Chain A
């Protein structure tokens, strides 16, 4: 079966190269239309899936940063505007809550032999998505600077503070450290990471009541504040687009970044060879004596809309299985940390692999997690700017969360 598929894809390749309108991948007809975020790894997957178009198979795609805003209404309509949505463990949650996704068990059994067991996302025993890449935030360090101050690669955030102080004391850099602390989704993510690193629980077990106003919460905020002592005062504007160029210009010695940014740190554009050759990915540090790294694991995967015909669902599924085929991985090996067997991890993937191996938690797939994340974003900047105490901030977070959770019906 697997051979047949590879053969048919090969036939498609030759077919396409001779300019015929031969529909490949064994799909005869159907509508394929994919909504996805807008970055190179997803372009690779979707373009590969597009090879299945032709003949009676229509194909459309939409790569947009607004995918999260569009997905709800687009999949609610009947028939759904998009037959497939590329999701993450964050963006799949609202779709699950609204019941807009189709269980994939039958399709996986029929067409999914090439998919690995670890790729199948099951929810309540039903396969709801197929993951194909992983991502996580981890530390990256400048080997040469660490050697200058005689420090090893820090394994805990406490060591990060020590090392940063040593670098500052040695007069090498005033602000040697940076994290993605822009006062939007990024900062919320850092709070989530740090809180999980402390072994914290976001909610009272079995309920949707937030419980972050505790010793671990205080420790989380205090640690972030201490770290920001060693980060440029502009830290509340730092996102990937700001930190990566900073790193490339050699202004940082340690940074916490997304695994997917490693590629651009290690390429030869925008930086000097001295910086690039000393850029080393490291595990995300642990914090407060915890055993898990203070980072969350993310996956990207595809899921199929519920409000479409079986024929379209099948066509879309086959096309996307082709999209995540070994062939695609081989052609785009370094664009992401792929979950498929064909992937050969390079240096840029080391950080994410270490985070996963060290047992970091996946980002919580709870329907009300987004609300708490939003409350972090709204309230934590006040604390980091020294306007209020950690306890006050945590109380504000819980109050803001409660108000929005009531509106969404998660709390009475």
Chain B
């Protein structure tokens, strides 16, 4: 669809491109700044004297001798064993995404294809659940979890994250399935397929963009969650975000902020590859063709 309309309006193209470029600057500016600053010492990156110190690294030269330092990374990964938290995050994220997508795909499809009104009410319920602040939920979970002796386990956290995530996943996949014309699977069923076969052979091939986009959001929720993981996991099996928060210090003590900055930068790297890999699936023209046909 893009190729046909590309060259007929140079002004529009120019405008659209410059808007995207402007947006990119706003979106990634702070991160380029952070990546650059992560190789400096705290006195530079958070300099009260002059923010340009963060660019030139005045204090970094004084304290380490060079204008770049890997101290933040060394501290976070070697001294504080950040890899362990990365491992925990991997486990939590993998299971959360897998479970919630499996349930979400089947549930979302059923909801989208059911003309019954309970689907609407279920969605309302789901939305109310999403409207409730997570901290209210977690403080309610705490005592039973301690009583049942399941607190502090990765599996408990996964279950809670899936549950909190599910309304969102359902609602989103439901929206995507609504976009896939009903006649597609109905024609398959006319051809003698069962409902499940129709789903298997007709819907699954075209649902990937929706599933991957939804998956991306479940992933981000599990990956970034702080409210739940910080309350449900012990410091011995923490995921990355609460760990990074703990680098920041508490009321009475100043933390090691550069460890946190280095850890944040390290945490973005896997995301880069992930998005790069999956954006192909989102972009693939396969979908448009499938819907058309």
Contact = CB atoms under 8 A, between A and B. Distances in A.
A touches B in complex, CB < 8 A: yes
Interface of A: 37-40, 60-66, 69-70, 73-74, 76-78, 80-81, 135, 185-186, 239-241, 244-246, 248-251, 258, 260-261, 264, 269-271
Secondary structure of the A contact surface, majority rule = mixed
Given A240-B251, A260-B252, A64 B246 contact: yes
Given A77-B149, A270-B59, 8 more contacts: A39-B250, A65-B246, A76-B143, A245-B254, A249-B48, A251-B49, A261-B253, A270-B41
Contact of A70 (B149, B231, B257): B231
B151 A240 contact: no
A261 B146 contact: no
Nearest to B50: A249
A40 B253 contact: yes
A249 B47 contact: yes
Contacts of B41: 269-270
B114 interface: no
A175 to B, nearest CB: 12
A241 B143 contact: no
B59 A62 contact: no
B143 to A, nearest CB: 4
Interface in B251-270: 251-255, 257
A39 B142 contact: no
Interface in B155-205: none
A269 B236 contact: no
Contacts of B252: 39, 135, 240, 258, 260-261
Given A77-B146, A240-B254, A270-B43, A61 B249 contact: no
21 contacts: A38-B235, A38-B246, A38-B250, A62-B234, A64-B230, A65-B250, A69-B231, A76-B143, A76-B146, A78-B147, A81-B151, A135-B252, A185-B251, A239-B251, A240-B252, A244-B254, A245-B42, A251-B48, A258-B253, A269-B42, A269-B63
Nearest to A270: B43
Given A73-B146, A269-B63, A241 B254 contact: yes
A60 B139 CA distance: 23
A241 B63 CA distance: 20
Contacts of B47: 249
A240 to B, nearest CB: 5
A66 B242 CA distance: 10
A135 B252 CA distance: 9
Contact of B235 (A64, A186, A239): A64
B72 interface: no
A78 B152 CA distance: 16
A81 to B, nearest CB: 5
A80 B230 CA distance: 19
Nearest to A246: B48
Nearest to A69: B231
Chain B, interface size: which category?
35 or more
B46 interface: yes
Contacts of B230: 64, 66
A308 to B, nearest CB: 13
B267 to A, nearest CB: 19
Contact of B253 (A39, A66, A74): A39
A240 B143 contact: no
B245 interface: yes
Contacts of A239: 251
B48 A245 contact: yes
A74 B151 contact: yes
Contact of A270 (B42, B139, B251, B253): B42
A20 B147 CA distance: 35
Contacts of B235: 38, 61-64
A60 B234 contact: yes
Identify the interface centre among B42, B47, B251: most chain A CB within 10 Å of its CB: B251
A240 B254 CA distance: 6
Identify the interface centre among B42, B235, B248: most chain A CB within 10 Å of its CB: B235
Given A81-B151, A239-B251, A248-B43, A61 B236 contact: yes
A249 B250 contact: no
A261 B54 CA distance: 24
Top 8 A-B residue pairs of the complex, sorted by shortest distance between their CB atoms: A77-B146, A249-B48, A73-B142, A39-B253, A62-B234, A73-B143, A270-B43, A63-B235
Nearest to B135: A69
Nearest to A78: B147
A111 B128 CA distance: 54
Contact of B249 (A39, A62, A69): A39
A249 B253 contact: no
B234 A260 contact: no
Contacts of B251: 185-186, 239-240
Identify the interface centre among B146, B231, B252: most chain A CB within 10 Å of its CB: B252
A294 to B, nearest CB: 18
Contacts of A246: 48
